[in-house]
Structure 1
């Protein structure tokens, strides 16, 4: 039976590919896409989401809900220097589809109630919407089956500051609320060490994707180019694909080769450590499972197979 899934996203580059996982994998029943302020301008993120849904041939089937346009307490910080507009300059067709009138937080609460104990939420942006749902509905955390969070670093290596990963840095207060809310199953896909060891696509891998020459493969290469250029410029071996990995693991944990339980706390007050995540391996009060290693080659082959598909005609 397909898994009820909801993806909470700041759609740009790898978020688009994560959406494709949720949209195209037959094991997933994607109940909605909720938008949160993050990578690029909010309206651009919405266009990027609809563009991706259209490429997957799912327009009119999977609703898009608009959520928080700002973090809880702080000004928004973009990642446009990393992603550009998030889709390589592609423009969304005038398809006539619009976002739902229902607010993302209300939709999240409703869908969790409708699929109590079964819904898996994939949170691949700042955690603002999730925190607002926790605040609004005391039963929300208990209704969610599993929460998969792309965020943080086990080894305190950040990607926006020396200490902080972007998604947590943008809204650390929201992250603090979420990790303290009592979700039964919180799974964290971290930037370091996981992403930068097992979810990086080097030039050879990108070339294999380009050689597929399908609509999805061409979209991937174009939307990914700015991120690839940035990541390699700062010393990674290629572009990072943590969001796609998070979506896949929410559907299939079989790719995991190492994980551990931790007590995760978020720094909200530090001047130079804002958004840092502290993974306490000595605690008897653990609140997350952190994925520490996956079969990166198998993950890449999954993505290659997905991008080789042709869900819509050119």
Structure 2
């Protein structure tokens, strides 16, 4: 049997981030060493609550440390996406179990873990890239020592989801994103919003109903936490909710879920008035690539995987009364 993959998930925990954490917590190929928190989707304290709730549902609270990181972008005011996600978990509240977060800052934890697992650690960044940029700034060898960095962010074709030109994670902290893309990571994988998410990672009403029919604690959690995002995405003209964060963790564990990839030079617009946070994926033959973009994934296989994961009943789960 292959050894498990040492993993850190850097997250701004709302609905799909929660499901991404479940992949990292429950997939037997993953050795989730830490969760690091960054300002993004919803209020920071709410994000921390959501991460701890997810750890409880997976029966892993107290086993996987949660490190608090940047509460603001490097140079900008924080921009919420609460209009998309609500509170991120459908109003669920966790029981107070006495477990607390780590005193070690997320960026320091990232630097330490990369040193301890030099060349082997996979980091999956599914929120704004502030913590990753801070780690790059704190340790000149950080980028060279990371085994793989997977980033959920940007769009190959210039379509945004927070502005016409920018995807949310990059838009929130474009300066951090540019630092990361300039840092020299040897294995940097990008899961973009367009085209990959919009084509391959949308769960329509039928897909959600099939998950609901499983009637497990985790499937009930999925339906409830996902509802606000599902409703918002329908109102935005999509066919259902989107799940690039879950895919980002999964493809880090099993790259065969990707059926098309391309190497690009990726840069971020940091000064444009209309294009702040836009990503430029330079495809030209003379461009020097700095990232591998996931251009297409096996959508049916991805849905089957996540559906099977949500059908499981984790040992030691702490379940809110509303899901029991």
Distance 2:18 2:76 in 1: 26
Distance 2:276 2:78 in 1: 14
Distance 2:189 2:177 in 1: 13
Structure 2 stretches lacking a partner, 5+ long: 318-323
The count of residues paired between Structure 1 and Structure 2 equals 314
Distance 2:14 2:307 in 1: 19
Matched with 1:30 is: 32
Following superposition, the deviation at residue 272 of structure 1 comes to 0.5
Q: 2:132 aligns with which of 112, 130, 139?
A: 130
Q: 1:201 aligns with which of 175, 182, 203?
A: 203
Distance 2:252 2:193 in 1: 17
Matched with 1:115 is: 117
Structure-1-length-normalised TM-score:
0.99
Q: 1:66 aligns with which of 51, 54, 68?
A: 68
Matched with 1:252 is: 254
* 2:294 is the counterpart of 1:296: no
Deviations 1:188-210 (A, max 9, x none): 00000000100010000000000
Deviations 1:131-170 (A, max 9, x none): 0000010010011000000000000000000000000000
Matched with 1:285 is: 288
Following superposition, the deviation at residue 93 of structure 1 comes to 1.1
SS in 2 for 1:69: coil
SS in 1 for 2:17: helix
Following superposition, the deviation at residue 95 of structure 1 comes to 1.1
Structure 1 stretches lacking a partner, 5+ long: none
Matched with 1:311 is: 314
Following superposition, the deviation at residue 187 of structure 1 comes to 0.3
SS in 2 for 1:212: coil
Following superposition, the deviation at residue 92 of structure 1 comes to 1.5
Following superposition, the deviation at residue 284 of structure 1 comes to 3.3
Structure-2-length-normalised TM-score:
0.96
Aligned-residue CA RMSD (Å): 0.7
Distance 1:65 1:254 in 2: 30
Distance 2:163 2:258 in 1: 28
Matched with 2:100 is: 98
Matched with 2:170 is: 168
Distance 1:89 1:32 in 2: 25
Matched with 1:264 is: 266
Distance 1:129 1:139 in 2: 15
Distance 1:212 1:102 in 2: 39
Q: 1:81 aligns with which of 80, 83, 89?
A: 83
Which stretches of structure 1, 4 residues or more, deviate above 4 A after TM superposition?
none
SS in 2 for 1:275: coil
